[in-house]
Amino acid sequence: MRLIAATHNKNKLREFKEILGPLGYEVVGEDEAGADIEVEETGTTFEENARLKAEAIHAATGAAVVADDSGLCVDALGGEPGVFSARYGGLDTDGARVELLLKNLAGVSREKRTARFMCAIVFIGADGGLVASTGSVEGYITEAPEGENGFGYDPVFFSPELGKTFAMASAAEKNAVSHRGRALAGLAEALKYTPDN
């Protein structure tokens, strides 16, 4: 079954293909599917934003769609940047957003720098049936970026499970414990039991 991934992010698209491909889904990006739609993320939760994206692409194409929304929630900042992770402070680059995050945590002790990455994934089948899955991973924010891999806040997110930041981990290491990997695994499990499989 052909499945449109509502994303322009090549890293996300690759993860969707790796996990959903073995279930018989031919995953294509929205650009390739001719469904390049900009959806305003007005939801107050990750799941609401993922659902907005999935519903918009499904309405435009009638095809099966998968969409996600994810972000970093830092306890000492009251859960920020949260759903605004990709546009934190109105800044345009990952580096600038990481710099702002570290500035806002200046003087906060290691014990209070706890944080989690969260991800919500919404699947809408060609028949309009909806399945949602969430995943999260606990960690803390380092005082300076470490590592060259990954993207977003990966250089400052230390995972106790891995013993390193996400940016120091290989893609396989990160996917094994990441919020998106866990949400996708949950979705894959749910899809195994849907009527159209």
First to last CA, the chain: 9
Separation CA 6–CA 162 (nearest Å)? 29
Joined together, the tokens standing for residue 12 give: 């996300």
Catalytic one of 31, 36, 68, 69:
69
Question: 3-state DSSP call for residue 186?
Answer: helix
Separation CA 30–CA 15 (nearest Å)? 15
Q: What are phi and psi of 122, to 5 degrees?
A: -120, 130
Separation CA 94–CA 107 (nearest Å)? 22
Annotated catalytic residue 31: no
Catalytic positions: 69
